[in-house]
Structure 1
Amino acid sequence: MKVAKFGGSSVADAEQFKKVKAIVMGNDDRRAIVVSAAGKSVSEPVKVTDLLIKIEQLRDAGRDYLPVFNHIAKRFVAIRDELGLNVAIEDDLRTIKQQIPQASHDYLVSRGEFLTAKLMADFLGFRFIDASRFMFFSCDHFDYKAAGNRLKAIISQSSRIVVPGFYGVDEAGMTHLMPRGGSDISGAILANLLNADLYENWTDVSGIKMADPRIIDQSRKINELTYEELQELSYMGISVFQEEAVQPVRKKQIPIAILNTNHPEEDGTLVVDHVRENAAGLITGIAGKRDYVIISINKYQLSKRLDILSQVFAIIQRFNVSFEYLPSGTDSFSFLAKRSAVANQVEAIINALEDEVDLDSVKLETGISLVAVVSDQLSKRPAIAGKILDILDSSQIKIHLVIQESSDIKLVFGVANQDYEKTIEKIYRNVNANEKKLRMAI
């Protein structure tokens, strides 16, 4: 049995709905379907989810949100009418409209998935199952046991279902949103609960590229990668798959296939526990994030001074900024954060560290990008890291920091923002052009 999730671009309009139906009906094993809210199309430049967020903003500002709501309503009615469906979608739209004045953020923003799934279920001839009926969250954690018991009863009545992604309900029965891109998580959870043989994630690209195609034209596709590699690449910025969607399927060793709704005949990317040896390259993928700040503290024998470190962490916590942190040596420690997350607090943080803690020095670096090289080959061939450093050195790219993850599958370089694209390009071009030579050298 397959669980198939279709992203926003796959359900953007009636023509995309038809592509989805052809895919679903093309394999009898596709029995559980998860959909995102209708996304962008040629005639619709804004995602439905973003329009719903706009409604909330207008409502909270005391401004007229009805034109935006009416636009959303016309869009869903147009899909319904063009497909010749009988769903009384106006009734659902009327209910949502009545709820807007007092609706929670989570309820309002989730309605795009709800409406899209209603139409898709009727179009496929499947049963619509509202995610609120079994996607149970408790203190932000998904309740697999309760969800599994409820879903078992639902499936006993109908084995072919369409479920809206992105939301569930909390202990109080209130709508609970997942992180943006959460329909990936919904699909992964559903695959876990149903013990699926395969979780298909249908989007608008034919698998995952080795590097951002906006930087590397005709970037090589990754045919296979491991769950861990996918999780690391997702965390470091690839937008094809949501990072938190990996674990639910990984728990039960359910393979993930990332496929293209617009070109279902093309091979995608397969995610498994172990990649075949002959399918693995020296580097699986390269990803990155721009615009970080780095605060580095220095104190003699800092690694042994837990009292100093506890004072430092107390100050960081006080400013409520989400930092990544890492030991940089015996005497130093570094904190990394997105510039947007730190906002205007950097100077205050540095002043507090200098005034309240007995440190030898506090250093600030801004305009830093993080570029990650991900591959399970890094643990098997440690010399790969040295070769990449040689590539960057010969390209005269200044390295501000190097982070070797404890998992040994990710190597992160900190470079200046202006060197971000150059760094990715140099690593990609050199590794791909000289892979045979590099294999022999290491």
Structure 2
Amino acid sequence: MKVIKFGGSSLATGEQVQKAINIIVADPARRIVVVSAPGKRQKGDTKVTDLLVNLAGAVQSQQDTTAIRDSILDRYRDIADYFGLDGVIIAQLREHLQHLEQRHYPSAEHLYAAFMAQGENMNARLIARVMAHMGYRARFVDPKELGMVVSGAPRSATILEGAYATIAHYQIPDGEIMVVPGFFAYDKDGNYATFARGGSDITGSILARGFDVDLYENFTDVSAIYAVNPDVVDHPRAINTLTYREMRELSYAGFSVFNDEAIIPVIHAGIRVNVKNTNHPDAPGTMIAPTKDVRHHHYITGVAASQGFTALYLHKYLLNKEVGLTLKILQVLYKYNVSYEHMPSGIDDLTIIFDKHQLNASQMSAMTDEIRAAINPDQIQWFDDFAIVMIVGEGLYADPTLVAHVMDELAKVGIAPTMINQGASRISTMLGVDADRADDAVRVIYSLSGCEKSQHVL
């Protein structure tokens, strides 16, 4: 049995939904279908989820919601009309949204989570109806029916470990196809709760582990995961296979094809993930597998860059001798509910790297004052134009001179990394560079990656 997930671009129009259905029914093992909300139909279009955020804002501020609601329903109506459905399903979706607008929510975060979940929720209901209309045994299945209970914040939920056992006991009737909305589940009180970015990938991964499937197929709008962003390098090399660890590192650093959090449930279960293209379903795509199942004879698998970071630099003489100094800093971060990404250090220096999306100017100012009061640094400074370049490959450890070679080539084009960090596993090396030179650094490093040999899943 397989879990198959489709991204928003794969379900943006009736024509794209038809392609997805063709893929589903082409393989009888594809019994569990996870769907995203309709994405952009063309450049400049608006995603349904973004429209739902606007709707949530209008509800919260008690504004008239008619126009926004109609624009959302028009997206689903276009798909329904493509398949010749009557207006019943759209009337049901309209009633569903109106009911949500009238509900009471424990907080504004709960309200936004509830509305943001509806892009996937309504799309799953519609696609199940379309497939049934076409004569297939397809049925909408709500995450609550599967026992998908989560904890955590309403818009950054985490599946409870016990939910996997509940999912495993769910019986799928022979020959039936389940259509499950991605991105959301429910907390213990029955409130909607959404996963983090890439949430439909997370749903697919949870169901793959819960049902212990043979393969998790993730369909998107590219034919493979590439060694570098095609927007930075023309016609980059496709990656045939990746290990879980490599995928995590590359996704974290900016590869948007597969979310870095989404792969964790399948890692625990040892389930392979095949990233494929809805528009070219016969292409092999990229297989993500356990390290033991992948033979690597190359050095660099991929290079990625992300400019979504900010860094706090601290300098204090004899910093390494002061017991409890790091604890004092972490207590300040805990007070402001801020997590850090990396913390490279020297004997007198410490750099703390943050995801800039979780910080605002007032937080940064307050944290600076409290850290200054707690540890009395000689220097404290924020670097906002900070980018991370990640060099990833299970084969990196095979060439002890590779990092030196990278640094030499970067120096030739005038790039001097402000930070270098490499863990004991040596499957990734992280460089901190000025944001305006990040793409240049990626191009230089990618030009060195042609030394890898073939790789394949056993």
Q: Same fold (TM over 0.5)?
A: yes
Contact 1:201 1:256 in 2 (8 A): yes
Q: 1:107 aligns with which of 114, 132, 152?
A: 114
Are positions 1:163 and 2:180 aligned together? yes
Distance change in 2, residues 1:44/1:330 (3 Å): closer
2-side partners of 1:76 and 1:202: how far apart? 21
Match of 1:95 in 2: 96
Letter in 2 for 1:188: S
1:216-295 map, 5 Å: 216-274=233-291, 280-290=297-307, 292-295=309-312
Match in the other structure for 1:427: 445
Query: How far apart are the structure 2 equivalents of 1:340 and 1:246?
Result: 22
Q: Tell me which amino acid in the other structure corresponds to 2:325.
A: I
Equivalent residue number for residue 330 of structure 1: 347
CA-based RMSD: 2.4
1:401 corresponds to which residue? Answer: 419
Question: 1:287 Cα deviation (Å)?
Answer: 1.2
Amino acid at match of 2:352: F
Secondary structure in structure 1 of the residue aligned to 2:226:
coil
Q: Which residue is equivalent to 2:190?
A: 173
**SS of equivalent residue, structure 1 residue 326:** coil
**1:127: how far off?**
1.6
Q: 2:201 aligns with which of 177, 180, 184?
A: 184
Number of equivalences: 435
Query: 2-side partners of 1:90 and 1:313: how far apart?
Result: 52
Q: Percent identity?
A: 31
Asked whether 1:149 is paired with 2:156, we answer: no
Alpha-carbon contact 1:52-1:109 (below 8 Å) kept: yes
Q: Structure 1 residues 82, 246: CA separation in 2 closer, same or farther (over 3 Å shift)?
A: same
> 1:358 Cα shift?
3.7
Alignment check: 8 A CA contact 1:198 1:255 kept:
yes
Query: Mean Cα displacement is larger for which, 98-107 or 180-189?
Result: 98-107
Give distance in 1, aligned partners of 2:312 and 2:112. 35
Aligned partners of 1:226, 1:177: CA distance in 2, in Å?
27
- Counterparts in 2 of 1:349 and 1:119: CA distance versus 1, 3 Å: closer
Q: Name whichever of 333-342 and 219-228 sits farther off.
A: 333-342
* Cross-structure match for 1:2: 2
1:120 aligns with 2:121: no
Report the CA distance shift for 1:335/1:128 in structure 2 as closer, same or farther (over 3 A): same
SS of 1:240 mapped into structure 2: coil
Distance 1:343 1:176, change over 3 A: closer
Partner of 1:440: none
Alignment of 1:303-314 (within 5 A): 303-314=320-331
| Kept after mapping to 1: 8 A contact 2:164/2:206 | no
Q: AA paired with 2:47? A: K
CA contact (8 A) 2:224 2:238 kept: yes
Shift in CA distance, 24/318, structure 1 to aligned 2, threshold 3 Å: closer
Task: Return the offset for 1:109.
Answer: 1.5
Higher mean Cα deviation, 128-137 or 82-91? 82-91
Structure 1, 248-257 or 322-331: larger mean CA deviation:
322-331
Match in the other structure for 2:375:
357
Tell which deviates more after alignment, 124-133 or 207-216.
124-133
Q: Distance in 2 between matches of 1:310 and 1:275?
A: 37
Equivalent AA in structure 1 for residue 24 of structure 2: V
Q: Check conservation: 1:121, 1:127, Cα contact below 8 A.
A: yes
Contact 2:344–2:421 at 8 Å: present in 1 too? no
In structure 2, the residue corresponding to 1:283 is in which secondary structure? Answer: coil
- For each residue in 1:100-145, what CA deviation from the matched residue of structure 2 results, as whole angstroms up to 9, or x when unmatched? 1436222221111111111222333212111121242243342344
Task: Give the TM-score normalised by structure 2.
Answer: 0.88
Deviation at 1:179?
A: 1.2
CA distance 1:152–1:357, shift in 2 (3 Å):
closer
Q: Does 1:58 align with 2:55?
A: no
Which of 396, 404, 418 pairs up with 1:378? 396
In structure 2, distance between residues paired with 1:75 and 1:118: 14
Query: Which residue in the other structure is 2:13 paired with?
Result: 13
Q: Distance in 2 between matches of 1:45 and 1:327?
A: 41
Matched-pair contact (CA < 8 Å) for 2:222–2:277: yes
The AA in structure 2 aligned to 1:132 is K
Counterpart CA distance in 1 for 2:423 and 2:50 is 35
Q: Which residue of 1 aligns with 2:145?
A: 133
**Structure 1 unaligned regions, length at least 5:** 437-442
Find the aligned partners of 1:123 and 1:342 in 2 and give their Cα distance: 43
Q: Matched residue of 2:324: which SS?
A: helix
Which residue is equivalent to 2:38? 38
- The secondary structure found in structure 1 opposite 2:291 is coil
